[in-house]
Chain A
Amino acid sequence: MTESTIGIVRRSQIPTKLITISGIILVILAILPLILGEFQTSLLSKLLLFGTLAVSLDLVWGYTGILSFAHGVFFTLGGYAMAYYLKLNLSAAGNTYGVDLPDFMVWNGLTELPWFIAPLKFFPIAAIAMVAVPAIFAYLIGEFIFRSKVSGVYITIITLAISSALTTFFISQQAYTGGTNGITDVSRLSILGLEISLNGLYWMILLFTAAVLAASYWLTQSNFGLILRSIKENENRISYLGYDVASFKIFIWTLSAGIAGIAGGLFVPLNRFISPVYLAVAFGTQVVIWVAIGGRGTLIGPVIAAILLGQIQNYAERVTQDWQLVVGILLLIVVVFIPDGLVGTVSKVFKKSY
């Protein structure tokens, strides 16, 4: 506790060194797509989004101590909002049936657009829904579970159940969600009639990632962040001090779901489809693994882990079919032997040597 308090005082001055280093990294990352090919740029964009998703989980898990397997769900809800928008804005030639109705709705016998999907045809509404739907969903869950005496492990089990239930639900509502295939063959993203190129999308995503990292840094270094960490360390004590623990948890939970939703929304124009695969527990686990390996409670760790693992996976899958086995072994080793994760351990060693 004392250590982190001292940390706050020291870091409250403007961190010039940090800003310089991150500025340099940002510039390098911004130039990269001009050098890299289309495939690498696309891959790197995806990995940046996964990294941001991992940061959003880190805010609730690494800082506040709530382990969630449902962050893939928030990501996917944002993704579906964007996917409906892109699907509904296919040009008449791009739409197989030449009508306003997406192909999977025609196949499943719908004759008109359901009222709850129709507004998503407009970009501002879709953009709001991308954040609002996952955030409101998370807020409702948060109000429900954090205002009880349910302990951490049970909350994790609840997130597992939510992920499992929603996957089943989305697969079963084929006419509205496209079932197992999800929403495929969406149009490219264009804003104000201007089609966004892959590089443009990459820069948008890079900007978003940088913004999330900067905001998260500011948030976690503030007094608010200190309270979050205190909740993780000793929930009872902080509530005896007069803080309403549940409200803090609900706030950070909702915020992180909103971030995850935007990441999901940006993911769809890149990936060109969204499906219940991203709702399922397996994807939620993947997010947890990025955070665990990168280092809980470090902001940059999860991003590095997502990018590194994604790149390794990209090459490993050409050699072996058993990438998942490698991931499982990594997770086991990290949990049992290096609980601080890669970045957490490195920075600890670094601090000790001084």
Chain B
Amino acid sequence: MFYYLAQADITSSFSIVALANQLLNGISIVGILLLTGLGLAITFGVMRIINLAHGEFIMLGAYVTFLLQSTFNLDLLLTIPFSFLITATIGALVEVSIIRRLYGRPLETLLATWGLSIVLQGVIKLIFTAQLKYVKAPAYISGNLTFLADAEGSPMIAISYYRLFIVFIALVLLALTSYLLYNTDLGRQVRAVTQNRDMAKCLGVNTSLVDMITFAYGCGLAGVAGTVISSLKSVSPPMGQDYLVDAWMTVVTGGVDKLIGVLAGAFLIGESNAGIAYLLNDPVARVIVLAAVIVLIRYKPEGLFTIQKRS
């Protein structure tokens, strides 16, 4: 939830300072939304799979990092490839064993992935117990980028480097994913399968393999998101639930036609949340943003940033 993600309050007498801080806070929320929404933009946006277990793949990524850090004392950045590979593998298994049986039945998929999310939480709880775990952020990405400091030198308008790092990683992954999707053979096949499965099959595309790879990639991205986010707060079995609704709202707001919609959705939700939170308070901001998204789905279920098509 947003108010968990919010940076520690930097109280200030100047409202303009508070506003600037709130907007910077918004930037860090945007980073998290973008990162958590990206995987969903693949599984839902490209494949149209209603994946309610998305939050649990984020959670799995965080646990991979925790495990590697506590046993091998590995740097957080070095655990990223492992958490990508492991969550992607689990994603591939899930696709083959569950999702594949339910293509074309969106409500059943929704239910099955919801069941899967309960199972994954239960299994992780069984292995690691429900206790909160903590992950260390790398020491070289610490401290704040200060825009304005007061007379004693303590920061008044600032954002932590780690939050900027999250935005950076999210943008890099977005660029990489766009490249894969729009400029490679595999990406072309993925889009072909989404647009016309039968025709793609006729032209010799191995559709079931493409499905598996695409879903696994989306889950892998969720795993990376989990790794990067893990050091912000504690790691626990139900942590994915906090990100699930937000990730969904991001993807639905941005629209699923173009990958870049995720960026727009994340920016819109993150900043408006921060703005309203500045005027009112965090829970009210969340309620208002959720209500706004409901209204948006009602009038433009295809999202804000899609080109009108004739169906």
Q: Which A positions have Cβ atoms within 8 angstroms of B?
A: 65, 67, 144-145, 148-154, 156-158, 160-162, 164-165, 168-169, 171-172, 281, 285, 288, 292, 322, 324-332, 335-336, 339
Q: How far in angstroms is the closest Cβ of chain A from B297?
A: 5
CB contact between B294 and one of A162, A330, A339 (< 8 Å): that residue: A162
Q: How far is the CA of A76 from the CA of B252 in the complex (A)?
A: 28
Compute how far the CA of A161 lies from the CA of B293 in the bound complex, rounded to whole angstroms.
Answer: 9
Question: In the complex, are the beta carbons of B108 and A161 less than 8 A apart?
Answer: no
* Chain A CB within 8 A of B116 CB: yes
Interface residues of B (CB under 8 A from A): 1, 50, 98, 101-102, 106-108, 110-112, 114-119, 121-123, 125-126, 241, 245, 248-249, 252, 281, 283-284, 286-287, 290-291, 293-294, 297-299, 301
Interface secondary structure of B, over-half rule = helix
Quick check: B111 and A292 within 8 Å, CB to CB? yes
Residue among A149, A150, A328 facing the most chain B CB atoms (10 A cut-off):
A328
> In angstroms, how far is the closest chain B Cβ from the Cβ of A58?
14
Pair B115/A328 contact, Cβ less than 8 Å: yes
CB <8 Å contact, B112 and A332: yes
Once A165-B287, A165-B290, A171-B283 are accepted as A-B contacts, the answer to whether A328 and B107 lie under 8 Å apart by CB is: no
Contact assessment for B301 and A154 in the assembled complex, using a CB-CB cutoff below 8 Å: yes
Q: Contacts A169-B287, A172-B284 known; A332 to B297 CB distance under 8 Å?
A: no
> Which residue from B98, B126, B249, B290 sits with its C-beta under 8 Å from A325?
B126
When the two chains form the complex, which single residue of A148, A169, A327 contacts B299, counting CB atoms closer than 8 Å?
Answer: A148
Cα distance, A115 to B107, chains bound together (Å): 42
19 interchain pairs, CB-CB under 8 A: A65-B107, A153-B50, A156-B107, A156-B110, A157-B297, A160-B245, A172-B287, A285-B114, A292-B111, A322-B122, A325-B123, A325-B125, A326-B122, A328-B118, A329-B119, A330-B115, A332-B119, A336-B112, A339-B108
Do B126 and A157 touch (CB < 8 A)? Answer: no
Number of A-B contacts (CB under 8 A): 112
Contact B297 A327 (CB under 8 A): no
Residue of B nearest to A165 (CB): B290
- Is B119's CB under 8 angstroms from A168's CB? no
Which residues of chain A have C-beta atoms less than 8 A from B117's C-beta?
Answer: 328
B110-A161 in contact (CB<8A): no
Q: Which residues of B contact A149 (CB under 8 A)?
A: 301
In the complex, the answer to whether A161 meets B298 with C-beta atoms within 8 Å is no
B282 CB, min distance to chain A CBs, angstroms: 8
| Alpha-carbon distance between A117 and B301 when the two chains are bound, in angstroms | 37
State the CA gap A150–B117 with chains docked (Å): 26
